[in-house]
Every structure is written in structure tokens, then in C-alpha cells.
Amino acid sequence: MATEIKILDDEKIVHTGIYDFDEFYMHMWRWLEWHKFTTEEKKYAEKKKVGGEGVESKDLDIQWEGSKDYDEYTKINVKLRFVTFGMKDAEVQRGSAKVKMQTGEVDVFVSASFTLDKDNKYEKNPGLKFFRHFFERYLYKDTIEQLKSDTWKFGWDLHNEVKAFLNLYKHTR
């Protein structure tokens, strides 16, 4: 069975205030594509609520999983989860124009890991199970250490990209 090694586990970013959710959503998807990840939306749950003043808000729970091959034996995995609370549309003055954005809280969770024996080649052949242990422990050891470093760096790059994008809206009113 393939072995998954977690490097980042649900590192959280919280943003409260104005943001453009559609732009944020597309930016993060394109960013993962740019880094050659194949990404899939695993969950999209939306809950609409009407407040006391008749203003509609919604809570979202969106989960993405992405992966890319590192080499023939391993792949790097990322998971992103976006959770919004009380997201409402708001009009914001940008220069001379008014634009529609969202307001509320958005929490983003970033996870990064890598998978050894991504295609289960060693697991499928019982005679190779011993060789897999030998391979990972002695022959592939330096590559695993490099993978830990590369996955850690990529996970934090993704985390920082989310944070930087949401910080663009800190002073928007």
C-alpha cells in the first residue's frame, strides 16, 4: 500500500472583512495549475441563511485535493479547504467604480504531503515488498529527505499565497 507522509496538516489562515471570493477561488485554482498540480474539487457545500433584516448570507465548505508527480515513485499532494461564515455581497468603491465583493469570515486550511510508491507497484507484487523496504531505507533515503524539504517549502508557499491574496483586501472599504 502506498505510504503518505504528512508535512503540513491543516495550517489555518483566517480573514475577516472584505474580499472577492470568486477572484480568490479562481486565483488559487490557477496558482495550483501553474505549479503543475492536477486539482479536483472533492466537496462543495453551500448553506444559505436569511438574517433579521432580510439580508441573505451563506456559509460555504469547499475542499480541493491536488497532486503532481515528483518522480516515477512519488507524488506530492496538497489539500485546500475553504470555509466561509456569513458571507454576504457588499458594494465597494474601487477608484471611481463600485464593485461587488463579499464580506464575512473565510478560513482556509492548507495541508501538504507526499506519497511513496504512488502506483502500488511494490504492493502488487509480494516478492518486492522486502525490496521496497530496502529501497526506501537505503537507496531512496536522500530523495525522501529532499522530498520532505520540497513538500514543506511548497506547502508554506501555498499558505503564504493564500495569506498574501487575502491581505490585498485588508484596507478595502
Please give the order of strands across the beta sheet that includes 56-69.
Answer: 3-19, 97-116, 74-94, 56-69, 38-50
The confidence score (pLDDT) of residue 139 equals 92
pTM (predicted TM-score): 0.89
Encode pLDDT of 146-159 as tens digits. 999 999 999 999 99
Whether 79 contacts 111, CB under 8 Å? yes
Indicate whether 173 pLDDT > 60.
no
Whether 169 contacts 92, CB under 8 Å? no
Could you give the CA distance from residue 123 to residue 2 in angstroms, rounded to a whole number? Answer: 8
- Compute the chain's Rg from CA coordinates: 20
Encode pLDDT of 69-110 as tens digits. 999 999 999 999 999 999 998 888 877 888 899 999 999 999
Give the mean pLDDT of 21-33.
96
